[in-house]
Amino acid sequence: LAAHAAIGSEDVSEFEILELTVRELSIEKGLFSQEDHRRFAEWADNVGPHGGSKLVAKAWTDADFKARLLADGTEACKEVGIDWRDPTGEGTPSDYTYFYVLENTPQVHNVIVCTLCSCYPRPVLGMSPDWYRTPNYRRRLVRWPREVLAEFGLHFPSDVDVRVHDSNQKSRFMVMPMRPEGTEGWSEEQLAKIITRDTMIGVALPQVDWTAS
């Protein structure tokens, strides 16, 4: 297989072979070019979770923006320079993706997964972590969410509703964690530093190191 040769390793997973094979077939059929793929790969490699951190920090400090973000995440992202419709400037499958932000509250904790493959909000969180793509996480989270979150160190009382949101080709989700107490008066830049990728997936909570204050 050309896909196998492209990886250059004997240790190849079936998913890597499938991805490369579908990519080569798509290029052959004219769905996109090798140059299109190169540009998208370079864009994806340089996107990190800072976009999502900016969104949450702004929502924590601006009630009107928070309302817009929760009502239409796809449009609200443009206010901080993130355009889901055209992330590379050339038009991509993201033209048809809708982005939803899920607000955590004292009564509800949200967490995201993609059970079919590894759909992920890359324009705001960058590339997904390896564990997010594993069958172990994808299968178990929807069946035993509390048990899986406990493995990440999160333990919730029975009166907290844990909600699992399954991403797909049309919809991407991101969690807005609760703002920690004692951060009143912090700037957006200060807040963004405690909003990590895992808090926006829903497997962690924002942590404040008060000893460093």
Residue 22: C-alpha distances to residues 1, 16, 37, 88 (Å): 12, 10, 12, 21
Joined tokens for residue 199: 């808090």
Cα dihedral 18/19/25/30 (nearest 10): 160
Give the ranges where 47-79 is alpha helix by DSSP (H).
Answer: 50-61, 63-71, 73-76
Among the listed residues 77, 94, 114, 167, the single catalytic one is 114
39 residue type, one letter:
R
Among the listed residues 53, 94, 119, 167, the single catalytic one is 119
Task: Supply the Cα-derived Rg of the chain in whole angstroms.
Answer: 19
Q: Note the residue count of the chain.
A: 213
Among the listed residues 26, 118, 128, 171, the single catalytic one is 118
Joined tokens for residue 203: 């497997």
Among the listed residues 26, 117, 128, 171, the single catalytic one is 117
Select from 74, 104, 71 the least CA-distant residue to 87: 74
Distance CA 129, CA 121 (A): 12
Q: Give catalytic status of residue 77 as yes or no.
A: no
Q: Which residues are known catalytic residues? A: 114, 117-119
